[in-house]
């Protein structure tokens, strides 16, 4: 008898925004892959490395595709997860690791993974097995890179092994791809691998889901899950029109000059409708664009790796001079002066004017 599948979907109001944590770049660097190498390979700006940028699913896929090309290693996905230190796990993964059983761990992982990514997990139990299927609803460029899918499945198995302190193996792995004798998947997952399958799915033994976790910590689990539940509730509300428009503008700015028509198209509404809704909020499209450019300029100039000329490009200005004039109107100083002042404040070396004594 097949039980009702559990489908951990992203919110119906969710946007395709993924924050890639700094630890990802640290781990890549430990394998000899610098952020510059990866981003150049997939033609993405260096701002992605800042930790503040939000990626689309397709951009995330492009990064993993670049990693695959640079390493030329079909085992990189699962190996990276098997070597990933537990103390560097994201808080949502720590919550999963502190669950009571492996079943609870997987459900926590599936539920809260939505907070830092745009993937969905479907769990289906039948007879003596439970299958886990992963999908990315916002993907437009095609299926997930193979090593990325391998990494996700490996992470689920790693959580089980580390939590239960056992050499837990999957029952089988079904993959749509053709067989690569060098991928090492059968050895790592400890199970048969079926290629050219109808779907990509990790199949676990149902009995293994009842394994007790040696890492169970109820007190810490309650603290973490309370915070995540609050975040999910917040995520469940549709962002206001200004927040939506700002996000689209940030995404369109690099190398272009977005207008009302472009933003309306991205939001799936008419130009007049967007104009009216922005006006109802007491502002204009021009002011909104100016605000985003100002906010983004401060962010980019705070990063010493980003040149001023590149900042002008990322903000959609025709040339550097146009950016200089705009920035002076915002801050009352040039980008170089603002950068120097900001750096001295951070270093605690800001100089204050000395008052002259009256004689």
- Identify the CA nearest to 121 among candidates 7, 274, 256, 270: 7
What long-range pairs does 59-64 form, CB within 8 A, spacing at least 24? 59/18, 60/18, 60/20, 60/148, 61/136, 61/139, 61/141, 61/142, 61/144, 61/145, 61/148, 62/141, 63/20, 63/38, 63/39, 64/144, 64/145, 64/147, 64/148, 64/151
* Residue 353, pLDDT above cutoff 70: no
* Residue 359, pLDDT above cutoff 50: no
pLDDT grade, residue 235 (50/70/90)? low
User: Out of 46-60, 132-146, 197-211, 322-336, which region has the weakest mean confidence (pLDDT)?
Assistant: 46-60
- In total, how many domains does the chain have? 2
Asked if residue 169 is part of any domain, the answer here is yes
* Residue 325, pLDDT above cutoff 90: yes
Of 1-10, 149-158, 227-236, the range with the highest mean pLDDT is 149-158
Residue that terminates a domain, selected from 200, 235, 270:
235
The proportion of the chain whose per-residue pLDDT surpasses 70, expressed as a percent, equals: 88
Residue that terminates a domain, selected from 235, 253, 271:
235
Asked if residue 267 is part of any domain, the answer here is yes
In this prediction, residue 347 carries a pLDDT of 59
- Encode pLDDT of 66-87 as tens digits: 999 999 999 999 999 999 999 8
CATH of the domain at 67: 3.90.1520
- Which stretches of the chain are DSSP H helices? 22-30, 35-41, 57-71, 76-82, 91-97, 102-112, 146-164, 185-189, 218-235, 241-252, 260-267, 271-280, 285-301, 308-314, 320-331, 335-347
Higher pLDDT, 345 or 210: 210
In this prediction, residue 14 carries a pLDDT of 58
28 shares its domain with 77: yes
In this prediction, residue 348 carries a pLDDT of 57
151 shares its domain with 20: yes
Distance CA(237)–CA(136), nearest Å, equals 21
Higher pLDDT, 47 or 40: 40
Asked if residue 358 is part of any domain, the answer here is no
CATH of the domain at 325: 1.10.10.60
In this prediction, residue 239 carries a pLDDT of 52
In this prediction, residue 50 carries a pLDDT of 67
Q: Which tokens in the block code for residue 93?
A: 């993964």
Distance CA(254)–CA(243), nearest Å, equals 18
Average pLDDT in the 221-225 region?
87
In this prediction, residue 195 carries a pLDDT of 97
246 shares its domain with 226: no
192 shares its domain with 306: no
185 shares its domain with 41: yes
DSSP string, 146-182: HHHHHHHHHHHHHHHHHHHTS----SEEE-SSPP-TT
User: Out of 27-31, 47-51, 129-133, 177-181, which region has the weakest mean confidence (pLDDT)?
Assistant: 47-51
Average pLDDT of the residues of the chain: 85
Asked if residue 350 is part of any domain, the answer here is no
* Residue 1, pLDDT above cutoff 70: no
* Residue 288, pLDDT above cutoff 60: yes
Residue that terminates a domain, selected from 235, 270, 287:
235
156 shares its domain with 38: yes
58 shares its domain with 195: yes
* Residue 294, pLDDT above cutoff 80: yes
Asked if residue 53 is part of any domain, the answer here is yes
Instruction: Supply the DSSP symbol for 198.
Output: S
In this prediction, residue 5 carries a pLDDT of 62
Asked if residue 144 is part of any domain, the answer here is yes
Domain range enclosing 60: 6-235
* Residue 3, pLDDT above cutoff 80: no
Distance CA(322)–CA(257), nearest Å, equals 13
Higher pLDDT, 252 or 172: 172
Average pLDDT in the 34-46 region?
89
* Residue 131, pLDDT above cutoff 50: yes
pLDDT grade, residue 351 (50/70/90)? very low
In this prediction, residue 2 carries a pLDDT of 45
Higher pLDDT, 103 or 49: 103
Distance CA(99)–CA(91), nearest Å, equals 13
Asked if residue 356 is part of any domain, the answer here is no
Q: For residue 19, what are the β-bridge partners?
A: 54
Distance CA(249)–CA(292), nearest Å, equals 7
129 shares its domain with 79: yes
Q: Is 124 exposed, middle or buried (0-12, 13-18, 19+ CB in 10 A)?
A: middle
- Encode pLDDT of 106-118 as tens digits: 989 988 877 766 7
172 shares its domain with 250: no
260 shares its domain with 316: yes
* Residue 185, pLDDT above cutoff 80: yes
148 shares its domain with 296: no
Instruction: Determine the longest span between alpha carbons in the chain, in angstroms.
Output: 97
Asked if residue 352 is part of any domain, the answer here is no
222 shares its domain with 272: no
């Amino acid at each position: 008898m097949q039980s009702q599948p559990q489908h951990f979907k992203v919110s119906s109001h969710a946007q395709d925004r993924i924050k890639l944590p700094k630890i990802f770049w640290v781990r890549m660097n430990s394998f000899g892959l610098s952020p510059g190498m990866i981003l150049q390979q997939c033609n993405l700006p260096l701002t992605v490395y800042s930790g503040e940028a939000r990626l689309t699913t397709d951009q995330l896929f492009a990064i993993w595709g670049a990693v695959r090309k640079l390493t030329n290693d079909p085992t990189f996905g699962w190996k990276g997860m098997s070597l990933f230190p537990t103390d560097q796990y994201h808080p949502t993964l720590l919550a999963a690791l502190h669950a009571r059983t492996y079943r609870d761990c997987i459900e926590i992982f599936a539920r809260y993974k939505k907070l830092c990514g745009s993937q969905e997990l479907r769990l289906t139990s039948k007879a003596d097995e439970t299958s886990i299927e992963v999908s990315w609803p916002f993907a437009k460029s095609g299926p997930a890179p193979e090593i990325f899918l391998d990494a996700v499945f490996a992470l689920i198995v790693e959580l089980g092994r580390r939590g239960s302190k056992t050499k837990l193996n999957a029952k089988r792995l079904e993959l749509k791809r053709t067989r690569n004798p060098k991928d090492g998947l059968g050895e790592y997952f400890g199970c048969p691998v079926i290629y050219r399958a109808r779907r990509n799915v990790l199949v676990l033994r149902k009995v293994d889901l009842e394994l007790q976790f040696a890492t169970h910590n109820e007190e810490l689990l309650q603290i973490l899950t309370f915070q995540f539940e609050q975040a999910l509730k917040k995520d469940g509300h549709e962002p206001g029109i200004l927040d939506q428009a700002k996000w689209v503008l940030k995404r369109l700015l690099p190398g272009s000059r977005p207008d009302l028509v472009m933003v309306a198209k991205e939001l799936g509404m008419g130009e007049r409708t967007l104009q009216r809704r922005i006006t109802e909020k007491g502002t204009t499209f021009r002011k909104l664009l100016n605000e985003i450019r100002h906010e983004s300029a401060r962010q980019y100039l705070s990063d010493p790796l980003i040149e001023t000329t590149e900042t002008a490009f990322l903000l959609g200005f025709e040339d550097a001079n146009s950016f200089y004039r705009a920035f002076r109107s915002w801050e009352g100083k040039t980008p170089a002066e603002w950068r120097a002042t900001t750096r001295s404040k951070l270093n605690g070396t800001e100089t204050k004017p000395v008052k002259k004594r009256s004689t």
